Amino acid sequence: MFDGRIVGGEDADINDHLYVVSVEQYERHICGGCILNENMVLTAAHCTKEKKAETFRVRAGSNHTKTGGTVVNVTRVVQHPKFHQHTLNYDVCILELVASLTIGIKINLLLINEKVPIGAEAEAAGWGKTSENGDMASHLQKVKIKRITNGKCNLSYPGRITSAMFCFFQDMKDACQGDSGGPLVYDNKLIGQNDCDSKRPMLDGRIVGGEDANINDHLYAVSVQRDQSHICGGCILNKKMILSAAHCVDGKEAEIFQVRAGSNYTIMGGTVVNVIRILQHPRFHLQSLNHDVCILELVASLTIEITINLPLINENVPVDAEAEVTGWGSRWEGSDEAFHLQKVKINRIADSKCNLSYHAQNLCDSKRPMFDGRVLGGEDANINDHLYLVSVQQNERHICSGCILNENMILTAAHCVNRKKAKSLQVRAGSNHTKTGGIVVNVTRVLQHPRFYPYSLNYDVCILQLVASLTIKIKINLLLIDEVVPVGAEAEATGWGKTSVKGDVAFHLQKVKIKRIADRKCNLSYLGRITAAMFCFFEDMKDSCHGDSGGPLVYDNKLIGILSWGHGCALPQYPGVYVNLAESSIHTFITNVTDESF
């Protein structure tokens, strides 16, 4: 669940661990690694998944990730052929270097099927965090940890521990993902590498309890593929149109996708046709996965003759009705995708019963905050009382809120615009509505906090620079650096979020009063994820959430925070999490970019 760390460890000397390297992308440490020979480095596959070899390099022979030692670029990434990015099974890859390392080191591996006994003490080394909420270590760390049984480990990670994994732990000592790929050594042998990746959902699609199916009985079923690798299922609507889930292809170019039709298998047989266009539902929302549907248009017609019947508009499927699911998903928790097409019979359950199971902590799109933005329990507000507030838009559609810092700079949440092109963004200022009125100005540059981390949402703040100055005259006051907002203090959040859990985004600007709760209490809800760059606010049946991500939180006439993330909305056990603008690094970032003191 957390970014890499060596917790409870101590400084190590690289001369005692010459096999350890820092794997870097764009000159920044992302994972640990281990020298196999002068041209090959072993690391975790998830560290390099879907990234180009030329963006990587390794730093060897240094106690530090930023200085010293030898830096060599990577020329090829060779991943284990059975690596599964969602279950993290077979999470191993080898990086081939463009030049030989000058470090002379010979690493010993365990023999095939050689056992490491339960309770055996091994040593992990790397540059992970030295405390739960701390920064990455500047100096190489080491820690002693002991093997625990897979049975015990599976109690913590239900069913996910496969024969390609094992678990190590010691009270208050640990190593994790910023050291993903880092070596684990026992009896002078490399026995494993660290594997902790919160970037992914817990379990990808699966057909559990099913059986082999025959494609001839399910000719409508296709494998949607990316670069010839199965990623999702799909359904033939007609010879040139495939129905699939929008999240499978969101944010990606059509030309990297193909569909394989008419085969029991995802890797052979049938007909493979490239995709030419992706048509997503206009109301698809990646965070809530609402309206999660898209149509893939093919470059050529399929030769399969099949007609699929859709339900009539608003036709209901009765509770307890039995339906059949087909696909190539995992057949049990933690397994790889099925080799052969599977089918399973399942029954519909009532929405009310399903909602009891899917509180926010159970939803698994960990790439993003859990839910779409809403101001729940609020009331209409007047923009003239909140002139600092703007609607941040992409292609003229509201995606997040923001706050005017000056006539050319807008503050918002970094995750709102992460990996989006500045020219696709606009802000609408001075209007009660997101679609009409006020002033619309295009964005020319996106400046993210340099320590923003999209998976933990730490330092979730960025500044949008506008192409032209706003005519609205507004002066915003920030908290002073490290100024504290007392627990129980009442603040005001504003935005255009949903006014009910199942409702649409508000047409008119909303406002709501919420109170600060203690970080310790908030961390009980969010299992330690609350850092010094965050704080939490809540009031019974009142909340704001992610479609208002980036929206301002005001206390004592000062801008104290912007909405970042949260689980659900107005759930008493899950407060809203806001960026703490008084945190020194964030405050300094804002003042440096704007060249103003607040």
Burial label, 212 (beta-carbon count in 10 A; 0-12, 13-18, 19+): exposed
Q: Are 23 and 95 in contact (CB under 8 A)?
A: yes
> Which one of 46, 84, 247, 415 is the catalytic residue?
415
* HEC secondary structure over 522-558: HHHHCCCCCCCCEEEEEECCEEECHHHCCCEEEECCE
| Among the listed residues 343, 41, 43, 299, the one whose alpha carbon sits nearest the alpha carbon of residue 210 | 343
| Among the listed residues 355, 401, 398, 356, the one whose alpha carbon sits nearest the alpha carbon of residue 381 | 401
Q: How far apart are CA 402 and CA 346, in angstroms?
A: 44
549 carries an active-site annotation: yes
263 carries an active-site annotation: no
Amino acid at 99: A
Q: How far apart are CA 493 and CA 486, in angstroms?
A: 17
Q: How far apart are the first and last CA of the chain?
A: 36
Q: Are 2 and 198 in contact (CB under 8 A)?
A: yes
Amino acid at 245: A
| Among the listed residues 103, 96, 93, 333, the one whose alpha carbon sits nearest the alpha carbon of residue 193 | 93
3-state secondary structure of 101: coil
> Which one of 549, 564, 567, 587 is the catalytic residue?
549
> Which one of 174, 460, 543, 548 is the catalytic residue?
460
Q: Tabulate helix, strand, coil % of the chain (nearest 5).
A: 10, 40, 50
Q: Give the angle 215-219-221 at the CA atoms, nearest 5°.
A: 85
Q: Are 448 and 462 in contact (CB under 8 A)?
A: yes
Q: What is the dihedral of CA 375, 381, 384, 385, to 10 degrees?
A: -80
3-state secondary structure of 166: coil
Sheet holding 322-327, edge to edge: 211-212, 342-347, 322-327
585 carries an active-site annotation: no
Quickly list H helices, 104-245: 150-156
Greatest Cα pair distance, the chain, in angstroms, is: 72
Q: Please spell the DSSP secondary structure of 356-410, one letter per residue.
A: HH--GGG---TTS-SS--BEET-EE--GGG-TTEEEEEETTEEEEEEEEEETTEE
Tokens of 550: 């980036």
The continuous run of DSSP H or E covering 353 comes out as helix 351-357
Q: Are 33 and 45 in contact (CB under 8 A)?
A: no
Q: How far apart are CA 289 and CA 165, in angstroms?
A: 31
| Among the listed residues 252, 263, 259, 329, the one whose alpha carbon sits nearest the alpha carbon of residue 296 | 259
Q: How far apart are CA 309 and CA 424, in angstroms?
A: 37
Q: How far apart are CA 569 and CA 564, in angstroms?
A: 13
Query: Could you list the active site residues?
Result: 415, 460, 549
